[in-house]
Each structure stands twice: as C-alpha cells, then as structure tokens.
Amino acid sequence: MDDNTTTPVTVLGLGLMGRALAGAFLKAGHPTTVWNRTAGKADRLVAEGARSAPTVGDAVEPGRLAVICVTDYRAVREALGAADVKLDGTTLINLTSGDSGQARETARWAEARGARYLDGAIMAIPSTIGTPDAVILQSGTRSDFDAHASALGALGTVTYLGADHGLASLYDVSGLAMMWSVLNAWLQGTALLRTAGVDAAAYAPFAQQIAAGVATWLPGYAEQIDRGSFPAEVSSLETDVRAMAHLIEESEAAGVGTELPRLIKAMADRAIAAGHGKEQYPVLIEEFGKPGAR
C-alpha cells in the first residue's frame, strides 16, 4: 500500500522543526492533527487548517501515521509514555535526533506496544522542509517505509537506508563528521593564508575546488576499503606524511594552530609504524576502527 495526499497524519512536537513538518503536510493536502506540550504553538497551523489535539492520546489513533519530532529521545518517551496513549496499530515515525542505540531501543519499546516504527534523521533546516533540498533519512522495516513513502515525500527528499533502525542516526552522525572535517580543514587553510594577507573570500573558491576534487576520489577509495587492499595507485602514505610535516611546519612558523595537522600526521605515523607506508591513504581506515568492534 502506498498512501497519498488524503492520508491523515499527526505531528507531535511543534518546535521549529515540528512546525515546519506539519506545515509541509498541510501544504501537500494531508489532513493534519498536531500536538505540542506547551499550548499556543499550534495556533498558526490551526489557522492553516490543522486540528489541534488536546493530548497525545487524542492525536494518535490506530491506522494513523504519527510523526514525532521533539528535543531528544527522552522527550519522545515522555510524550508517548502517557497513560492514555495507545500505540497499537499506529505507524510511528520518529524524526527526533539521537544516536543509533537510542533508535534501536525506541524501536523495541514502540513495537512492544503494537506500533510499527521507523526511525529517521533530518539533515536540513526548517526553512527547506517541503522542498527537495530537505534530506530525510529513514530506517526500519521496508514495508512500513513503502506504505508511507508517498506521505513522507511531502517533507523533502526521503531516502530509505535499511532494516536496522539505527542506520538513520549512523548516517546522520557520519554526515556530520564529513561536514565538520571539511569545515575544519578549510579553517586551517584560511588561518594560514590570512597570515599572508589573503582574505577568506579569496581562498574560498580554491578550497571549494579542492574539496569537490577530493570528493570524487571517495568511490574508488571505498572500493579499496571494501576489498581490504590498498595498492598505492596515486601516492603512498609515506609520500603523504612528508606533506603533512610541511603543513605542521608552515602552521607553526605562521603562528597558526597545529592541533589538527598533528592529529592527521599522528594517525598516518601509526599506520606507517604498523607497516602500511607503501600503501594508499584509505589504509588509515584501520586507525578508525574495525567492522563489528562496537
């Protein structure tokens, strides 16, 4: 079954993100019921056609799709744990940010109460919700996702990741690791170039080009990681480490922080000490952990 714009939905939690989610459902034509712990936040949505439920128990009913988006998983359990809430027969989609362990635990908790449960992560800001720019990740039982993929499509670009309820959270934090690493690398270069009078704005296009170029290496490097074989087709780790030393020296000489370059080199040094100097950069995956080592 795939639902359409006539599918009734409930949105629990009307913070900045919850209001955006409810607004997108309304705009797409879904009869939308909303609930928030603190009164008043539903007013504008009600003016746009939403029904404001007085309690979570009233907002959630069998066969209805319920989306919850509150501060954290503790708030999820508080809101849904109220005595009058019957989850039996509902599909609950949790778009609250958290970690994969919380997602898996909440899935077990909700399923034990008769709900179908999908966990999700929103990699977007409220103003993009309802547009293709809003990236929304989903994990849980495939048939539950398929049943509601159309309704979820009102929120943005929705990607199903797999049956493990923890996957959406894991992809979320992995994406953040990418984002912060790129930003920190850019800031290191910006700080260095500012010592020579180069504005951040002058360096930004060059940095953007480098970041985009490096991103094209990922699929090939990923193949090496999945094969567990790292032939140095472009450069060896030993060559990279010499350049890392230059980055540290330049930073030190310029009075720019060396914390990040030293961390990068320390990891490469460890891999070389373990005998990987003639191999290619992604061999460093072993410095980050081994599959199954949770």
Query: Of 56 and 192, which has the nearer Cβ to ligand NAP?
Result: 56
Rounded to the nearest whole angstrom, what is the least distance from the CB of residue 55 to ligand NAP in the complex? 11
Radius of gyration (Cα) for the chain, nearest Å?
24
Output the six-digit token pair for 279.
Answer: 């191999």
Nearest residue relative to ligand NAP (C-beta) = 15
10 Å Cβ neighbour count for 51? 16
Rounded to the nearest whole angstrom, what is the least distance from the CB of residue 287 to ligand NAP in the complex? 29
Rounded to the nearest whole angstrom, what is the least distance from the CB of residue 82 to ligand NAP in the complex? 9
Q: Which residues bind ligand NAP (CB under 6 A)?
A: 13-18, 36-38, 41, 69-72, 75, 78-79, 96-97, 122, 125-126
Sequence-ordered list of residues with C-beta below 8 angstroms from that of 260, at least 6 positions apart, any chain: 184, 185, 188
Distance CA 136, CA 172 (A): 10
Query: Of 81 and 231, which has the nearer Cβ to ligand NAP?
Result: 81
Query: Of 96 and 236, which has the nearer Cβ to ligand NAP?
Result: 96
Instruction: Please state whether 156 falls in left (phi above 0), alpha (psi between -120 and 50) or beta.
Output: left
Q: Provide long-range contacts, Cβ within 8 A and 24+ apart, for 245-252.
A: 247/188, 250/192, 251/188, 251/191, 251/192
Rounded to the nearest whole angstrom, what is the least distance from the CB of residue 221 to ligand NAP in the complex? 28
Helix, strand and coil content of the chain, in percent to the nearest 5, comes to 50, 15, 35
Query: Of 125 and 222, which has the nearer Cβ to ligand NAP?
Result: 125
Rounded to the nearest whole angstrom, what is the least distance from the CB of residue 116 to ligand NAP in the complex? 21
Rounded to the nearest whole angstrom, what is the least distance from the CB of residue 60 to ligand NAP in the complex? 13
Rounded to the nearest whole angstrom, what is the least distance from the CB of residue 45 to ligand NAP in the complex? 12
Query: Of 70 and 193, which has the nearer Cβ to ligand NAP?
Result: 70
Rounded to the nearest whole angstrom, what is the least distance from the CB of residue 189 to ligand NAP in the complex? 27
Sequence-ordered list of residues with C-beta below 8 angstroms from that of 268, at least 6 positions apart, any chain: 237, 240, 241, 244, 284
Output the six-digit token pair for 267.
Answer: 């990891």
Query: Of 13 and 189, which has the nearer Cβ to ligand NAP?
Result: 13
Query: Of 75 and 173, which has the nearer Cβ to ligand NAP?
Result: 75
Query: Of 169 and 236, which has the nearer Cβ to ligand NAP?
Result: 169
Output the six-digit token pair for 16.
Answer: 């900045």
What are the C-alpha distances in Å from 220 to residues 55, 143, 223, 227? Answer: 52, 32, 5, 11
How large is the greatest C-alpha to C-alpha distance in the chain, in angstroms? 67
